[in-house]
Amino acid sequence: MSDSTSHLIGLLLGTETDWPQAFETLTRRLGAVQHEGRRHELTTERITIEPFDLRAPVRYDVVIDRLAWWYYHPREWLKKAALVNDTYLLNNPFTFQAMEKHSAYCAMMRLGFDIPSTVLVPYKNPVDHEKWAYTAGTYNLPFDLDEVADRVGYPMFMKPFDGGAWRGVSRVDDPQALHQAYDASGQMLMHLQAAADYDSFARSLTIGPRTQVMRFRPELPMHDRYEVRHDFLPADAGQEILTLSRTINAFFRWEFNSCESLVTGSRVQPIDYANACPDIAITSLHYYFPWAITQLLSWSAFCAVTGRKPRVDTGSREWFDIADDESLSWNDKLGRYAGLADRYFEVGRYEEFCATALADLPGIVLDWVDSPAFDDLLVETVRGTYPAAEHDRFLAHFRGLIGSWVADQR
């Protein structure tokens, strides 16, 4: 175990190398931080996958995970670390690894958010297994898909209940497309969800208690999806998205997550918000990358240095009590949710920590992003991401966006 003034942050990684290098570099450049009269050293280490004894100690104070959603072994290691070792995990593995989009829809509907009408239909092709044949014949009643779809209303989206990376998502405009999509769904379990019209597609990335709301253009290639545009939402819609993002996260004990909301005027319809450990690649976030990496480091440092205790329990009842209180208006409820979220995230203590222990961090990030070392990382990332013929074009594109971030900070 590390002593009280030395903290190890573990990174559980997939294929990406850009943000981990940024995170490691900035942790080194930050050096030791002072908190309540003590010096705290922070170091990082990439976690390897190995046999583990369920009682074995864990050396990491905090783990940032980008892998366990896809692989069972690291997923089960995280659960053991949470239960046996009290390791601080940015996302509660019992509500993230074990759940899906569907539960997040249900919870946010219960809290009163404006989720488009959504129906779960039984499998087109249920798993083939002896006992199911009896159950299916006896209890899985035939149903009229057209009648279900009429209740949802066209146009709609058919998409897997557990979602992710647009797999199996289709827009359905008429009964013919409905049957085609359902026939093609095979062994995926599908939602039918009313399509929402929108002026703006807002993607909000939340790390700890801080949220960046970005205008997203899903129809464009990845490198162009986040538009650099400030103040694109009416103030009340922007505020609702901030509250929504933190509410979902505090409700499920997620601290690194992104949400998608469709906004028309002041109306906010969230459609996808169980994206814990989202993509934060330089090539996706570009202008917003320095913000994301700063928050990730700040929140991890806060949790490690202050010894914040991980919570795998959820306090759903206190949220439901607000939701069910008929004397409260929607704005009152939003205010109460924001209050619960602030309490969960220890907002005051965190802001204070950032202003004192991490006072130098924004300058350190700015100097690094504006240095040849960052440009080397950008070049390496572009070379590793795009075909050779596109390197110059993409380098110019990202250098321009990063340059405008540097100019805006200065």
Ligand X SMILES: Nc1ncnc2c1ncn2[C@@H]1O[C@H](COP(=O)(O)OP(=O)(O)O)[C@@H](O)[C@H]1O
**Minimum Å distance from CB 101 to ligand X?**
6
**Minimum Å distance from CB 115 to ligand X?**
9
Is residue 196 a contact point for ligand X (CB under 6 A)? yes
**Minimum Å distance from CB 68 to ligand X?**
17
Structure tokens at 74: 């690291």
CA end-to-end distance (rounded Å), the chain: 41
**Phi and psi dihedrals of 215, rounded to 5?**
-80, 130
Nearest residue (CB) to ligand X, 218 versus 372: 218
Is residue 240 a contact point for Mg ion (CB under 5 A)? no
Question: For residue 240, which of 111, 328, 92 has the smallest C-alpha distance?
Answer: 111
> Where in 150-169 is the site for ligand X (CB under 6 A)?
157, 159, 163-167, 169
Residue 9 and residue 15: Cα distance in Å, rounded? 19
**Minimum Å distance from CB 203 to Mg ion?**
8
CB-side neighbour CA atoms (13 Å) of 33: 28
**Minimum Å distance from CB 147 to ligand X?**
20
Which residues on neighbouring strands pair with residue 34, listed in sequence order?
39
Nearest residue (CB) to ligand X, 276 versus 297: 276
Is residue 65 a contact point for Mg ion (CB under 5 A)? no
Choose the contact partner of 255 out of Mg ion, ligand X, none; CB within 5 to 8 A by kind: none
Choose the contact partner of 64 out of Mg ion, ligand X, none; CB within 5 to 8 A by kind: none
**Minimum Å distance from CB 399 to ligand X?**
28
Q: Are strands 118-121 and 33-35 parallel, antiparallel or unpaired?
A: unpaired
Q: Which of 37, 142, 218, 372 binds ligand X (CB under 6 A)?
A: 218
Residue 208 φ/ψ region, left for φ over 0, alpha for ψ in the -120 to 50 degree band, beta for the rest? left
Residue 389 and residue 37: Cα distance in Å, rounded? 54
- Give the binding-site size for ligand X (rule: CB under 6 A): 17
Is residue 271 a contact point for ligand X (CB under 6 A)? yes
**Minimum Å distance from CB 277 to Mg ion?**
14
Maximal CA-CA distance, the chain: 69
Choose the contact partner of 315 out of Mg ion, ligand X, none; CB within 5 to 8 A by kind: none
Q: Are 394 and 382 in contact (CB under 8 A)?
A: yes
Is residue 272 a contact point for Mg ion (CB under 5 A)? yes
Choose the contact partner of 195 out of ligand X, Mg ion, none; CB within 5 to 8 A by kind: ligand X
Is residue 18 a contact point for Mg ion (CB under 5 A)? no
Choose the contact partner of 218 out of ligand X, Mg ion, none; CB within 5 to 8 A by kind: ligand X
Question: For residue 102, which of 177, 199, 228, 189 has the smallest C-alpha distance?
Answer: 189
Count other Cβ atoms within 10 Å, centred on residue 52: 13
Q: Are strands 190-194 and 156-160 parallel, antiparallel or unpaired?
A: antiparallel
Structure tokens at 173: 């405009």
Residue 118 and residue 152: Cα distance in Å, rounded? 7
**Minimum Å distance from CB 173 to ligand X?**
12
Nearest residue (CB) to Mg ion, 261 versus 298: 261
Residue 323 and residue 326: Cα distance in Å, rounded? 8
Structure tokens at 346: 């220890």
Count other Cβ atoms within 10 Å, centred on residue 87: 20
Choose the contact partner of 164 out of ligand X, Mg ion, none; CB within 5 to 8 A by kind: ligand X
Site string for ligand X, 111-130 (x = CB under 6 A): -----x--------------
Question: Which residues contribute to the site for Mg ion (CB under 5 A)?
Answer: 272
Question: Which residues contribute to the site for ligand X (CB under 6 A)?
Answer: 116, 157, 159, 163-167, 169, 193, 195-196, 218, 260, 262, 271-272
